Amino acid sequence: TLAAWHHAQWGHLYSHWTYEVCLAELDEHASRSNGLPTTLLALEGDELLGSVSLVLEDAPELQEHGSPWLASLYVKPEARGRGVGAQLARAAVARAAAEGVEELFLFTPEHREFYARLGWRPLGRTALKGTPVDLMCIAPADAAADAGAAPRHAGEAA
């Protein structure tokens, strides 16, 4: 389900990122008990609401900006507007802090204001496969301390 959601949402930004590649990446994340890369899930009972990943490389063209990256924040349409995305983003930042990440990066084609409200700082704009994107960063230890957040592990509800 996640691979289908992710590929439908972002597949156009990556020439090599087929559904099969996406599925293999998520399988690798699920097999890890700690460290990066990883994917955190938002669950309501047994229902999957969304996910977010922490990856070492999100787009090769952007790697010069740093690593690791918050990637693939997705909330299914029926669950949007309930704060699930913010919970997932905060849980990912807290997990990055627990992993000792000093600076975390992301790019977003359309949600700059959302991330800014969560404490992310703009780094500038660029394009990825012809799509304009905003680059942003955050210091996870500072953000986690400000939020009083506890890290969540892959598979736990955010």
Render pLDDT for 29-64 as a digit per residue (tens, 0 to 9): 888 878 899 999 999 999 999 999 999 998 888 888
**Does residue 37 have a cis bond before it (omega within 30 degrees)?**
yes
Give the max Cα distance, the chain. Answer: 40
Class of residue 110 by CB neighbours under 10 A (exposed 0-12, middle 13-18, buried 19+): exposed
pLDDT tens profile 58-115: 888 888 889 999 999 999 999 999 999 999 999 999 999 999 999 999 999 999 999 9
Type of residue at 140? P
Poorest-confidence range of 9-13, 53-57, 137-141, 146-150? 146-150
At residue 5, the 3 state secondary structure works out as: helix
pLDDT of amino acid 60: 82
pLDDT of amino acid 119: 95
Class of residue 34 by CB neighbours under 10 A (exposed 0-12, middle 13-18, buried 19+): exposed
